[in-house]
Chain A
Amino acid sequence: MSAMNLKYAVLALLVGGTAHAVEPMVPYDNFNPSESNPPRATKVRGIDPARWTSQESGSRQQALRELAFTRLRLLSRSNTGTGRYGLRFTQPSLVTAIEAKVRVNNARSTGCEPPGTGVSQAAAELSGHFFNAATPSRASAKDDITASIRIVSRSTDPLGSQDLRVEANIERCRDASCTGRSSLFTSDLGLIHQGEQARLRVQWDAANDRFVFQRDSQPEVYGAYTVTDTGAPGIANKELVVTHALPSCGSGSPTPLGYVNAYFHDVLVNQSAAPAP
């Protein structure tokens, strides 16, 4: 445990809470350049390059990443492989907690035929590589521990259902690109309707060797881990993304589909990651 984290752990004990003992959340970007929260010294046109950089992996047939009036809009439509598309925080190592309002307007996942031979998945996520559980090597995600809170569509969802699922995940990267992952923790935070907005939070509570997840005002969910958490992640990355993970279907099967059209706004982070004015 780092000295800083130890300090916060002590603070947590003093205030008598658990997750509340971690850093308070502060505004990072509301995606409203006209009335920015937090305020900016100079107004920006479009997505603020001082706060965000591009995140893009995999391939897709259609993609949109744009400021849509007072929200960030991310759209991805893909029929192959895995991919992540969206925005990364420019100072990821400072970010230990992410909160945002997320609305998935539409999501659809189509798997392989016959059913069960391959499951497709598409999601809108707040996620990050928070630490490395082994000896990190530069530019390799192997053994990075990722945590995410996401709204997911799967091809196994009931036909025609308008319901998606909110999930919390802790995973360990099995390779340098983190394409392969091992699940350390997963929690179902319930159904969410397409078009329903949710306030999502993922927060690393290093003092207690766990991640804290929360959907709206529901009780916090804790994902504990037992791996060592003192190593910096090989890929320091915190992000707002839409993702897809699609199977390779056999001949005769329709092409799989992973489609997400999501909006993000009112992004908060832990206080020490607050952006410069």
Chain B
Amino acid sequence: MQRGAFLLAFASLIPTWALAAPHVTRLPPQNAAVQCSPGARCVQPTVDGWVAPMEYADGKKFPLQDYANGGPNGELYLLVSDNAEYTSEECNFGMPLAGGIPSVQTNPCLSQTLFIGMRLPRPKDANGTFLDAAGVIDVWLDAQRDATINQVVGANQPRSEDRRIQLRYSTGPNGNTTLSQRMGNNTNGWTALTDPNQAWATTALVSTPSAQSSRVHIEFSVKLRTSVPPITGSEPLSALVRKLGLGIQSTVFSVAGATQRVGGGIFPNVKNQSPVDFIPSTWETLELKEPVSIPLSFTMWNVGQMPDATFWVPDGGSGEIDTVAAKIFRKEVACISEIWMSHERGELIEKVNALRAIELLPPMQAVTELNDDVLKLATESTGLVLLSSRQILEGGVHHFPSHMCTGSDCLQDKGVIWARIATPAATTPVVVNDDTGAPRVSTATDYGEFVDVFCTHVNAGENSPGPDTDAREDQLFDIKAYVQQVRKGGPLHANTFPYLLGDDDIFPQGTWPSGMDRPAFLLGDMNTLGPKATQPDSNFPRYQDMVGQSFLDISERTQFEKANSLFSESRDLARTSSGPDPMATGTWLTNQCTDLVTDELGSKDRLDYVLVFPAEDTLEFPTYALLKEPTADVKPHFDPDSGILIANPQQQFFQQCLSDHAMVDVSVALTKVKDVVKYNPAKPHRMEYAVKQVTDLETESGCCADWFTPRVHMTANGFFRENTFLTIVEDQTIYPNWQVRTGPDNPTQFPDLPANFTGVVNMTSAIWEEDVGPNDHYDSIPEGGAGTAVDERDGHFSFFAASGLVLRVKGEANANDWLNGLEMMGSFLNGFENGMSLETEGKDHDTGDNARVRHYIQLKELETP
């Protein structure tokens, strides 16, 4: 059954009550007993009216979107402290740990407290001058969340343990604030507190800081009361529950002279579903538990498969393509280096997927260099293959500038491969109501759920200073520049120092969503001796150089890491083994092994790494963080069948591992610390459609298709744009990013979608292959069989601006075909801030001209000028 069909079937099994369940956010509390100590201080917000994001680094960030008025989005920060009391030296002590945190801080820090920080846009007049603001902030607190979730009778209404806190504010010379608190009346409303001890102790402050004149800063601290009389039944931090219902609404008043009402927002952030004053189930559920984990694992292995052109250099070990494939086919993301010949790289991918097919696993996707150019030397490649059992959303190959090498390394074109890997969260089913209101499960991949993975192999040779280390350091600098250019979203087509376009580089057209807001991973044979476990870095000066500021520049902690106490700050993930011997992370085995090699890893040199590029160092939240602590395992893969007698000079029994390098396995877990912006029809948008990936399904083997497209088309709001990409791109799988989008950059008028646009945007593309005979129009959709009309071969998509829905549709032969849905991709009202993608696959059994194509659709919010 196809995934789409399966998910639709799955949707039919979802009970309707589940769809009405409250939104849930996991918010791990800051636990003083575990996270904070004088040697590892924590940071907590100080309610002083200045909302410093880094004060909330142990919490989470959300957008505040005004679905009624549009305008710039605000920010909401939440942090909860746990039950343990703080000592004065373990939190908010001494100099501020990160930028933006005032020197005067609450000390000791507060336990059992909910901190709410809001930064709301201020209105402007026609001259662009910021005006004073006024409004009301409602905060609803459901103290027995499980009762509400479990639909206990009467729980879905304000009860006596629940609270509503209201802050009325105005800013400016005559500004004032009024804070009030009420308790549930056990029916359908709120009543005044009758005893001051009934209050959840609350502090609130409002300011318009000069350091950020565009925002009103509003800050709350709310003591999460336990069940101490006169309060009963309050349980947010009780061991058995650890949940809190929380609703927040920012309502702004109109301001004289303002061009637009701005600053509204809701939590949970769901259009058409504001928190209802007397219905707790419409509020968000904060699960005060460990963060949601998104696991991923990485494998780095130099497999030493030498080219025929340098036949006098033996393979690194006894391994061949099939024995290598057998060791990696179940991996999640693998960087394989030293497969120098194109046909061996292609063979590896085929072998891996043949083994996966036997175990009914979906094929791995890959980024590598495959070509059928008989005049091209086998050594003119990076020798790298990056394989992923998860979707590869984008990919590219970069070669080091040709002068950055020494000796025999100059026979090769070493470099870096990039793959943007969809995390497991990218394909988590999302239930969407279709245009009839019926629940459906979306089939799209969330393009925001990714990590960038880089795979490299740098210059070999000496580790003592000299030409080898000079060349290697040049390459490290080049890696850093390439990684930065990729992570910021491109483009890669031109030299923009420090990034230098390499010879024969392969890269997507145009730009793509930035990945600077999350960690990226570099897997590689760095040919640089590095420390194992607790060995001091200072014993490895080349390693210090590699990770230091001059080259990879990953050794410094970011501002977020300085302020956060929950997440991993590791950079070198395979430095310490998670097995019984922490030192067992040596990877350089030489070409001779014995069956004792596993016990000898602690004495081997370490050359192969899994390194982390942290999220961009700013004073804001990243989108993802790395959970503590990644695990590492190094496997030498001794080959018991490799033994031969050699005369060298006396007769000797010679045994090998599969390679002269050990395999490095690292497991990590990511978690999301910033929520996404959702579709807000009240704002203008830019629409983009692109072909992100094309794979030839025509033959089981061989190389390579020559792809182009005469048509990437979009129609929007009475205009259309059709782009062509006729330059041949050769490979079995390509990542072309053939795109069309609205906006002023087009050669013909093709305006962005205006605010409150309610029309339909149509998109399609055609996939062609150049052939010795007539060129072939590939089939890329399951419908249509061997038909040759565009509706029978090309994917067609429609975005319905009124509902936010995106459907794969029947076609374009008739106008109504654009409205005739075949598949529910998803709704931008559910998120998809970085876009959504869908793979379609041709089923033309007559010609066999079938392709698997990844289509990408993005709706990017624009600010009103």
Q: Which residues of A are at the interface with B, using a C-beta cutoff of 8 A?
A: 31-36, 39, 42-46, 64, 67-71, 73, 103, 105-106, 108, 158-160, 162, 193-197, 261, 263, 265-266
Contact = CB atoms under 8 A, between A and B. Distances in A.
Interface in B613-644: 644
Nearest to A69: B346
A35 to B, nearest CB: 5
A158 B701 contact: no
Contacts of B773: 39
Interface string B776-814: 000000000000000000000000000000000000000
A71 B705 CA distance: 17
Contact of B703 (A35, A46, A64, A106): A35
A33 B700 contact: yes
A70 B374 CA distance: 11
Given A68-B350, A69-B343, A35 B704 contact: yes
Pairs A-B, 6 closest by C-beta atoms? A160-B646, A34-B702, A196-B311, A69-B346, A197-B308, A33-B699
B705 A193 contact: no
A31 B701 CA distance: 9
B437 to A, nearest CB: 46
Contact of B702 (A32, A160, A193): A32
A159 B651 contact: yes
Nearest to A198: B308
A162 B372 contact: no
Interface stretch (B55-63, B312-320, B511-519): B312-320
Contacts of A32: 372, 701-703
B698 A158 contact: no
Interface string B347-389: 1011100000000000000000000101000000000000000
A245 to B, nearest CB: 20
Interface in B145-181: none
A70 B341 CA distance: 11
Contacts of A197: 308, 311
A106 B312 CA distance: 14
Nearest to B772: A39
7 contacts: A34-B696, A39-B772, A46-B701, A71-B343, A105-B320, A159-B645, A193-B312
A32 B704 CA distance: 9
A43 B696 CA distance: 13
Given A35-B704, A43-B848, A160 B699 contact: no
A264 to B, nearest CB: 12
A61 B704 CA distance: 34
B275 to A, nearest CB: 57
Nearest to B773: A39
B732 interface: yes
A254 to B, nearest CB: 11
A45 B374 CA distance: 22
B701 to A, nearest CB: 4
Given A45-B700, A194-B314, A197-B311, 5 more contacts: A36-B702, A43-B698, A68-B343, A195-B311, A196-B308
Chain B interface size band reads 35 or more
B346 A160 contact: no
B343 A70 contact: yes
A67 B644 CA distance: 29
Interface string B699-717: 1111111000000000000
A224 to B, nearest CB: 32
B700 A158 contact: no
B582 to A, nearest CB: 37
B314 A70 contact: no
Contact of B704 (A34, A68, A73): A34
A70 B373 CA distance: 12
Nearest to B307: A195
A41 to B, nearest CB: 9
A108 B347 CA distance: 23
B372 A159 contact: no
B376 to A, nearest CB: 13
Contacts of B127: none
A106 B351 CA distance: 18
A33 B646 contact: no
A68 B773 CA distance: 26
B122 to A, nearest CB: 60
Contacts, number: 100
Contact of B308 (A43, A160, A195): A195
B648 interface: yes
B308 A44 contact: no
A35 B647 contact: no
Contacts of B699: 33-34, 43-45
Nearest to A67: B701
B224 interface: no
A45 B312 CA distance: 35
Contacts of A261: 320
B654 interface: yes
Contacts of A42: 848
Given A69-B346, A69-B703, A34 B644 contact: no
Given A43-B699, A68-B343, A34 B311 contact: no
A160 B654 contact: yes
B314 A106 contact: no
Contacts of A194: 311, 314
A68 B347 contact: yes
A36 B771 CA distance: 11
A124 to B, nearest CB: 14
B306 interface: yes
Contacts of A44: 699
B314 A162 contact: yes
Nearest to A196: B311
A158 B646 CA distance: 8
A69 B698 contact: no
Contacts of A34: 372, 696, 698-699, 701-705, 732
Contacts of B322: 64
A193 B311 contact: yes
Contacts of A193: 311-312
A70 B703 CA distance: 7
Nearest to A266: B374
Contact of A33 (B311, B343, B654, B701): B701
Scoring A31, A39, A68 by chain B CB atoms within 10 A of each residue's CB, the highest score goes to A68
A103 B705 contact: no
Given A35-B702, A106-B320, A159 B646 contact: yes
Contacts of B647: 158-160
Nearest to B699: A33
B353 to A, nearest CB: 12
Contacts of A105: 320
B488 to A, nearest CB: 35
A35 B372 contact: yes
A103 B321 CA distance: 14
A79 to B, nearest CB: 13
B315 A70 contact: no
Contact of A195 (B306, B702, B732): B306
